[in-house]
Amino acid sequence: MEFTAEQIAGILNGVVVGDSNSAVSGLSKIEEGVPGSLSFLANPKYEDYIYSTQSSICIVNKTFSPSKELPSTLTLVKVDDAHACFAKLLEVYGQMTKKQPKREEPSFISEKAEVGDGAYLGAMSYISDGVKMGENCTVYPQVYIGENVKIGKNCTFHPGVKIYHDCVIGDNCILHAGVVIGADGFGFVPDENGVFSKVPQIGNVILEDNVEIGSNSTIDRATLGSTYLRKGVKIDNLVHIAHNVDVGENSAMAAQVGVAGSTKIGRSVMIGGQAGISGHIKIADRTQIVAQSGIPGNVKKAATLMGSPGIPIDDFKKSYFGFRKLPYILTKLQELEKKIKSITKE
């Protein structure tokens, strides 16, 4: 699909500087630009690349003023916010390249399922009894949707997604390859001999609108009630969210985060990669948790936490400075100890 500079400027409310008929059919980073591709420049650190790029069109901020001569083959589209506008263009491109309505074979769609208009159902997909799916959903091959699952409109399920029975998915949700929604929570009770008995997990998972979950992440169903991901939650790859967790609106988690059961995470909380969150605790709205931190107890007020157990980041930095000085401090203590012994003998 080909776009001209004039068309791109029209979509982004921008201004063309150069050849308005210059056309592109692909996207590339500015440092890897090739003829016929579109790039963008938002970070000044990358400005040097714009003077040598082979991209045909580059989106830049209206404040951008070249300090050197630009390539003669390069056309600029000046906009208010280059980064945001490039993201908007990617979204438009994604919509234009979205799978067209179709039902591929072989696949199974229960006669007791309701699938809305405009759906793409890939080969080897399985739609169980009682499923209700809204309009314009995209179900890629090898997706399994269990009994009585409720799905809103404009959802996308990438290959290998598994949604267990009775779960609820809101509008505009995106689940990437290998995501599992509604597997049993880790519920076991040991007897007097230490032998574990399984506790039935009879709840479900509810994803509200505009939730996106990265590849191979797992969201466990509740023991009773529901595990919640509220509106706008964004989950990276390889994240585990346990039974009965409640993640507040517009919170985000980077890769390999683990959240133990029944924890309540507030709104707009940001959690860095490989952080671990204990169970049955509450985390205040707008808390930020640095990568590889551990949170063992309640966070009552918004803070930026680091370390394990997590403490305010400024305190952690001071503590870490002291930790790094420990070898020096120990050496000095040993020297003082020798001096004290020598003085005592004298």
Q: Give the CATH number, domain containing residue 84.
A: 3.40.1390.10
Residues 176 and 160: their CA atoms lie apart, in Å, by: 8
Q: Give dist(CA 267, CA 261) in Å, integer.
A: 18
Q: In terms of residue numbers, what domain contains 47?
A: 3-96
Compute the distance between CA of residue 132 and CA of residue 262 in angstroms, rounded to an integer: 28
Residue 158 is a catalytic residue? no
DSSP string over 146-189: -TT-EE-SS-EE-TT-EE-TT-EE-TT-EE-TT-EEEEPP--EE
Global pTM reads: 0.82
Do residues 267 and 137 both lie within one domain? Answer: yes
Q: Are residues 7 and 68 in the same domain?
A: yes
Domain containing residue 305: CATH number: 2.160.10.10
Active-site residue (options: 158, 176, 240, 243): 243
Euclidean distance between CA atoms 213 and 209, whole angstroms: 12
- State the pLDDT at residue 339: 87
- List, in sequence order, every residue forming a beta bridge with 78; answer none if it has no partner: 15, 60
Q: Are residues 48 and 123 in the same domain?
A: no
Position 68 confidence tier, pLDDT thresholds 50, 70, 90: very high
- From first CA to last CA, the distance across the chain in angstroms is 91
Do residue 326 and residue 254 come from a single domain? no
Of 72, 96, 120, the residue that ends a domain is 96
Query: What six digits make up the tokens of 2?
Result: 């080909």
- The whole-number pLDDT of residue 329 equals 86
Whole-number Å distance between alpha carbons of 156 and 139: 6
Say whether both 153 and 275 belong to one domain.
yes
Structural domains of the chain, count? 3
DSSP 8-state assignment for residue 44: G
Sign of the four-CA dihedral 99, 101, 107, 111: positive
pLDDT at residue 134, as a whole number: 97
| Token pair for 337 | 């100890």
Q: 311 with 325, same domain?
A: no
pLDDT digits (tens, 9 = 90+) for 130-165: 999 999 999 999 999 999 999 999 999 999 999 999
Measure the CA–CA gap between 219 and 148, rounded to whole angstroms: 18
Average pLDDT over every residue of 56-81: 95
- Looking at residue 318, its pLDDT comes to 83
What's the confidence (pLDDT) of residue 250?
98
CA 151 from centroid of its chain's CA atoms:
20
